[in-house]
Amino acid sequence: MKIAIASDHGGFDLKECLKAAFAAEWTDFGCDGPGSCDYPDYAVAVAEAVALGEVELGVLVCTNGMGMSVAANRFHNVRAALCRTAADAKQARAHVGANVLCLGAVNQPKEVAQEILETFVGTALSDEERHARRRAKVERARRLSDFSGLAKDDPEIYTAIKAQVLQEDTEINLIASENTSSRAVRLAAGSVLMNKYAEGYPGKRWYSGCLPVDAAEELARRRACELFGADHANVQPHCGSSANMAVYFATINPGDTILSLSLDQGGHLSHGSPVNFSGKLYNIVPYTVSRETERIDYDALERQALEVKPKILLSGASAYPRALDFRRIREICDKAGCIMMVDMAHIAGLVAGGAHESPVPYADFVTSTTHKTLRGPRGGLILCKEKWAKAIDKAVFPGMQGGPLENIIAAKAVCFREWMQPEMKDYAAQVVKNCKAMCKAVQDRGFRIVSGGTDNHLFLVDVKASGLTGKEAAAALDNAGIVVNKNTIPYDTESPFVTSGIRVGTASITTRGMKEEEAALIGTWIADILADISNTALQAEVKAKAKALTARFPVP
């Protein structure tokens, strides 16, 4: 077994004695003699080796073992336990799952110390439910401990962050554009990489000292290309809207025509809304879904493209519950002689996990956010064919951005790596299964679903058909601990502030491990609330049930 060991001057003799008495593959981090030294230097070395997985266990010895255990426990994934007896060691391993043994040398007979070590190494983790449950609660405490330093430095912001933690813990989040990022993503996003100015691209920066951020950005670019099978990736856009802006700037001139899905039918602000830069700078021609099917009619789109002759045909949406046919869209772009641009912001995770066809083989440009189904940090991403690589990089920097957010880029890299793990395919498939199950539960209770169902992570309920507005439906559900957003539906007759629909998405509940059973149950709660919209007692009842359900499915 690989074990890291270290001591300060007070523990030096005992450390040497343990190494001699117990056969293991020891890595000795010092100290090397009885001269006075500082215990944290040695605790940190062993704790890091354990955290990195370079060794299975660690052993730290000082005069009484206390300073060592406090210092080692500063590290994530280190559980250091101070043991005075073999019985302590047994419990530390079996119950607590300790992976670093701390020993006090003073008044500790060497034979007892040896016995403690043998017991520690020889005891397996208990899988008894109560111990597993308690260990899980220790891990859960990291949701608070990760930012607990703020409690002293900025109590008001600490309070705001803690409120978000509690909200995530207890609410059923069905906002289709949100998800719950992993701890690894959040750690990278909050890292010191944010301190670096890095205008330019890896290897070609304007400032010195960019080697660490170059490594992170290079990984992000390479992983993005590998994950999506793209020729080129630009990982610098601060958000999805700026990713879209960069493609427009790289390819067309102000006044040129973009054919895109109309905002009130599921498109996005940055696809040409008159209040957005896109609508102000370009000649936007909107396309719509079919009145009958509420789906994109590709034949109609083809006719419109041939007539309008856009420079860019932009597909992708914020509220379109159906699969997109990228092969057919490519055909239309070829016939109309325009650039094929796909904004996969919403479905990027489904694409990464194989639950939606990828636009990458077909499109000249694919833009995305990294925080929706893709479950990374908030940010943007552009993928393109090699021939556009130079133009797009120039459009992002120096075209529209200054220094990139290298901490966020590192977090994007972490996210892309997560998607390369095989279980993420199951996640993507489960998001869709959950969505179908929830949608069916609502539909079975007589509510009208836009387009009759869903192929992806979201569905739209036409609440107006049941005599409600989107605004009041969303507010009632919010009271019940179920968070959705009001949303326009195709050919909506209500204003965007009122709307006739709600948009419901399953990315976040799937991240916390819910399956079809829970999704369908939530669907029945949604139907219960909407069917009796002013019943506040019912809302309180569902809120309690939602809280009990979420407690069983902790967010990461």
Contacts of 25 (CB under 8 A, 6+ apart): 1, 2, 3
Size of site (CB under 6 A) for ligand PLP: 13
- Which of 236, 241, 251, 304 is the binder for ligand PLP (CB under 6 A)? 241
In this structure, what DSSP letter does residue 262 have? -
Interatomic CA distance for residues 367 and 243, integer angstroms: 6
Q: Is 42 a catalytic residue?
A: no
Nearer to ligand PLP, 239 or 531 (CB): 239
- Which of 18, 92, 313, 345 is the binder for ligand PLP (CB under 6 A)? 345
Q: At residue 165, what is the residue type?
A: V
Nearer to ligand PLP, 181 or 241 (CB): 241
**Least distance between ligand PLP and beta carbon 61 (Å):** 51
Mark the segment that binds ligand PLP (CB under 6 A) among 10-18, 46-54, 149-157, 342-350. 342-350
In this structure, what DSSP letter does residue 447 have? P
Residues present in the chain in total: 556
**Least distance between ligand PLP and beta carbon 349 (Å):** 13
Q: Does 240 bind ligand PLP (CB under 6 A)?
A: yes
Mark the segment that binds ligand PLP (CB under 6 A) among 40-48, 198-206, 212-220, 239-247. 239-247
- Which of 17, 151, 239, 323 is the binder for ligand PLP (CB under 6 A)? 239
Q: What are the beta bridge partners of residue 245? A: none
- Which of 330, 346, 486, 503 is the binder for ligand PLP (CB under 6 A)? 346
Mark the segment that binds ligand PLP (CB under 6 A) among 245-253, 326-334, 338-346, 478-486. 338-346
Burial class for 50, CB neighbours closer than 10 Å (0-12, 13-18, 19+): buried
Q: Is 41 a catalytic residue?
A: no
Nearer to ligand PLP, 320 or 388 (CB): 320
Q: What are the beta bridge partners of residue 504? A: 459
What's 359-412 look like in SS3? Answer: CCCCCCEEEEECCCCCCCCCCEEEEECHHHHHHHHHHHHHHHCCCCCHHHHHHH
The SS3 assignment for 494 reads coil
Q: At residue 226, what is the residue type?
A: E
List the one residue out of 331, 329, 309 whose CA is nearest residue 320: 329
Q: Which of 372, 375, 436, 464 is catalytic?
A: 372
- Which of 317, 347, 463, 476 is the binder for ligand PLP (CB under 6 A)? 317
346, 459 in Cβ contact below 8 A?
no
**Least distance between ligand PLP and beta carbon 300 (Å):** 21
Task: Locate all alpha helices (DSSP H) within 146-210, ordered by sequence.
Answer: 150-153, 155-170, 183-189
Burial class for 308, CB neighbours closer than 10 Å (0-12, 13-18, 19+): middle
Q: Is 322 a catalytic residue?
A: no
Mark the segment that binds ligand PLP (CB under 6 A) among 92-100, 311-319, 389-397, 478-486. 311-319
**Which residue has the closest beta carbon to ligand PLP?**
240
**Least distance between ligand PLP and beta carbon 511 (Å):** 18
Q: Binding mask 366-405 vs ligand PLP (x if CB under 6 A, - otherwise)? A: ---x------------------------------------
Two structure tokens written together for 235: 């990982």
Q: Is 462 a catalytic residue?
A: no
Q: Is 130 a catalytic residue?
A: no
Q: At residue 324, what is the residue type?
A: L
Nearer to ligand PLP, 119 or 234 (CB): 234
- With vertex at residue 81, the alpha carbon angle to CA 79 and CA 84, rounded to the nearest 5 degrees, is 170
Residue 187 half-sphere exposure, CB side, CA atoms within 13 Å? 10
Nearer to ligand PLP, 108 or 270 (CB): 270
Nearer to ligand PLP, 55 or 460 (CB): 460
- Which of 79, 221, 268, 464 is the binder for ligand PLP (CB under 6 A)? 268
Q: Does 343 bind ligand PLP (CB under 6 A)?
A: yes
For the CA atoms of 294, 295, 301, 302, the dihedral, rounded to the nearest 10 degrees, stands at: -140
- Which of 11, 65, 200, 316 is the binder for ligand PLP (CB under 6 A)? 316
Mark the segment that binds ligand PLP (CB under 6 A) among 186-194, 201-209, 339-347, 526-534. 339-347
Interatomic CA distance for residues 330 and 333, integer angstroms: 5
Q: Binding mask 520-549 vs ligand PLP (x if CB under 6 A, - otherwise)? A: ------------------------------
Q: Is 282 a catalytic residue?
A: no
540, 550 in Cβ contact below 8 A?
no
Q: At residue 433, what is the residue type?
A: K
**Least distance between ligand PLP and beta carbon 316 (Å):** 5
Nearer to ligand PLP, 69 or 251 (CB): 251
Mark the segment that binds ligand PLP (CB under 6 A) among 17-25, 198-206, 235-243, 527-535. 235-243
**Least distance between ligand PLP and beta carbon 474 (Å):** 18
Residue 412 half-sphere exposure, CB side, CA atoms within 13 Å? 34
- Which of 108, 177, 260, 273 is the binder for ligand PLP (CB under 6 A)? 177
Q: Which of 79, 378, 412, 503 is catalytic?
A: 378
Q: Which residues, numbered 44-63, are part of the site for ligand PLP (CB under 6 A)?
A: none
**Least distance between ligand PLP and beta carbon 317 (Å):** 6
470, 502 in Cβ contact below 8 A?
yes
Q: How far apart are the first and last CA of the chain?
A: 31
Interatomic CA distance for residues 28 and 16, integer angstroms: 10
Nearer to ligand PLP, 241 or 288 (CB): 241
174, 508 in Cβ contact below 8 A?
yes
What's 208-246 look like in SS3? Answer: CCCHHHHHHHHHHHHHHHHHHCCCEEECCCCCHHHHHHH
Nearer to ligand PLP, 82 or 381 (CB): 381
186, 194 in Cβ contact below 8 A?
no
| Residues found near ligand PLP in the complex (CB under 6 A) | 177, 239-241, 268, 270, 316-318, 343, 345-346, 369
Catalytic positions, written as ranges: 197, 199, 343, 369, 372, 378
